[in-house]
Structure 1
Amino acid sequence: MADEAGNRNAFLIQEHYCSTNAAPVYGRMCKAIAGGLTRASAVGARILDWPGEPTRDALPLRLFGGLHALVLAGADDQLAAVYAGTVTDEHEILAIVERTLARHGDTLMPWLDGPPQTNEPGRSGALMMGLIEVVREHGPKVEILEIGSSAGLNLLIDRYRFDLGGTMFGPDGAPVTIRPEWTGPPPPRVPLEIVSVRGCDVAPMDATDPAVAARLAAYVWPETPERLIRVRTAIEMVRQRGVALERADAADWIEARLAEPQPAGVTRVLMHSVVWQYLPEPIAHRVRAAMVAAGERASAERPIAWVAMEPDRAFGHQVVRVRSWPGDGAWRIVATAHPHGSWVSADSSREEMASVELPAAAKIEV
């Protein structure tokens, strides 16, 4: 049964998340919509009558992706002023949004049909902190298995250049350099060789398709035009040389990959970012079980590791966790990060956020 109050509250939850992550445009839009959205349009009615769990479904960002697509296409000048941050009054924002929903309802309605596809290359900078921890413990060579790869832009992690607090990784001359704002000690300069990168997604996107490229651009938040440039450059990198991305259920795929022969001297790494919240619990349970079973078989010659960047709702940002085998397989925090990787903190004082297991419940998509 639809819960109008709960559906409005999803926008307030997202507003909090935006306010803690330097996203005032979407923060203002969330507050305006939560306080005054009506059923005057079919889109407005669908939002207020949303039958699912709106936070888990990332309902606000489904809508905002569609609205941003209109702005990027030059289809709505008034809405563009909201996205540019020149219209800041809550009542004026609501009036513009209501008018846009009525005028562009046929275009916007399909954006509510599926979850956001925020395939952000900047997250690779945070994930690198997990990989660095893995190679410090198990040796320089890793093979990466990513679940929830979306369009595969983080499968380019071996082709990006990284400046992590002044410590450099990756190939010189890479088209994309990921340079997050840094807090805490920089990581050590350790040998790191990514021997292979493969990924899967239950509904992978072809980044080389112009419609998909436009969709990915629409999910970039308006406050960060540098992200839009980076996403478009990463897409061009995929056009020049593709990535190993398969359509598959996460549990089926990781079970099959873990069953493959593993080269000696190479750590096999499960990697994911802002994915866990979307996995149905039976799938998440199978992934956990497969990793624990692989960990029990692991040896010094053939280690297993898990690197995860997932949201922590209480703190409003991402936590980068690592576990590996042989060893106790316990989770440990190596960094916290902005949802899109614009900052990374290696401040060890954040260890109080460690949890025994990745949460099964939804957090918030960004």
Structure 2
Amino acid sequence: CLANYDELRRLISSKTVQTNVVRRSICLLPAYALVAQLGGGRPLAQVEVGTSAGLNLLWQRYHYDYGSGLTWGDPTSPVQLTTERRGEVTLPELPGSLRVSWSVGVDLHPISLSDDSAVLWLRSLVWPENLELHRQLSAAIEVAKEHAPNVIEGDANAQLPSLLESAPKDATLCVFASHVLYQFSRDALITLYKAMQAYSEVRPVYFISMEGTGNAHSELKLTVYRDGTRRIIDLANCHPHGYWLEWLVVGQS
């Protein structure tokens, strides 16, 4: 480090921390299934807030193993995700196919996977000793190079109203964010929530959030915006990187 002090100082002062943990998708998948159910089985139109490189937009191309024979997705996918299920509540039904007709991610400083230096920075944000996360990141990058996610640069609050309006009208509108909202100021969060609440006068908006609450603990929540009102549902407790998942919701309609 001392030998490369000047270069390290330049990097740290010019870069932002933008991890892209695909393991979180194993916690988000049951939430997507629930939203699809609440939306009457229509395809999802998804907006990811704070998308980084957009790797979690490609969740349909990964394989998931929840233990006890419960799996979902492409078994041949290079991205293989597992978790430990905790608690007594069963997960919502994971249909054979969850359709996504449209998806986009927005980030202030998105990471371009065609930029080798940007990819190297993304890799450098993974703890060096966590070989599993390194393997999953490499596999997800390869998937993204073949199936490029739709990522745009910009402020989420500036972009969200037009993105909501652009989503296909015959789809269920699903906005999601994972370990991003803590970076928002209080006023910015209020603006984000108000945008979804206002647009729910036009059509329902389902907002999935996965945010940390303490050491090795996160909460998964679903906020349903409908007709200008909102209802918050506590979906699950989980590990910030998806190593365990405790589902909380018994039935939902």
TM class, shorter-length: 0.7 to 0.9
Tell me the residue number matched to 1:237.
Answer: 143
Distance in structure 2 (CA, Å) of the matches to 1:273 and 1:287: 15
Tell me the residue number matched to 1:183.
Answer: 86
Tell me the residue number matched to 2:220.
Answer: 320
**Structure 1 residue 263, shift from structure 2 partner:** 2.1
**Structure 1 residue 202, shift from structure 2 partner:** 0.6
Tell me the residue number matched to 2:157.
Answer: 251
**Structure 1 residue 260, shift from structure 2 partner:** 2.6
Distance in structure 1 (CA, Å) of the matches to 2:7 and 2:238: 34
Tell me the residue number matched to 1:309.
Answer: 210
Tell me the residue number matched to 2:57.
Answer: 155
Looking at secondary structure, tell me which structure has more strand per residue: 2
Tell me the residue number matched to 1:342.
Answer: 243
Mapping of residues 122-161 of structure 1, within 5 Å? 122-140=23-41, 141-161=43-63
Looking at secondary structure, tell me which structure has more helix per residue: 1
Which structure exhibits the higher relative contact order, with contacts defined as CA atoms closer than 8 Å and separated by 6 or more residues? 2
Distance in structure 2 (CA, Å) of the matches to 1:280 and 1:296: 25
Q: 1:205 aligns with which of 111, 125, 136?
A: 111
**Structure 1 residue 209, shift from structure 2 partner:** 2.2
Show CA shifts across 1:51-104 (max 9, x none): xxxxxxxxxxxxxxxxxxxxxxxxxxxxxxxxxxxxxxxxxxxxxxxxx3x333
Where do 5+ consecutive residues of structure 1 fail to align?
A: 1-99, 350-366
- Decide which structure has the larger Cα Rg and report it: 1
Mapping of residues 1-366 of structure 1, within 5 Å? 100=1, 102-113=2-13, 114-140=15-41, 141-165=43-67, 166-184=69-87, 185-190=90-95, 192-260=98-166, 262-264=168-170, 266-298=171-203, 303-313=204-214, 316-326=216-226, 329-347=230-248
Distance in structure 2 (CA, Å) of the matches to 1:261 and 1:150: 20
Counterpart code for 1:284: L
Preserved CA contact (<8 Å) 1:213 1:232: no
Preserved CA contact (<8 Å) 2:196 2:225: no
Preserved CA contact (<8 Å) 2:225 2:231: no
Distance in structure 1 (CA, Å) of the matches to 2:231 and 2:164: 19
TM-score under structure 2 normalisation? 0.87
The aligned length equals 243
**Structure 1 residue 257, shift from structure 2 partner:** 1.0
RMSD of equivalent CA atoms: 2.2
Would the alpha carbon gap of residues 189 and 238 (structure 1) be closer, same or farther in structure 2, given more than 3 Å must change? closer
Show CA shifts across 1:128-177 (max 9, x none): 12212212322222111001001111111121122234433323422212
Q: State, as a whole percentage, how many aligned pairs show the same letter.
A: 26
TM-score under structure 1 normalisation? 0.61
Distance in structure 2 (CA, Å) of the matches to 1:108 and 1:312: 31
Distance in structure 2 (CA, Å) of the matches to 1:283 and 1:179: 34
**Structure 1 residue 193, shift from structure 2 partner:** 1.7
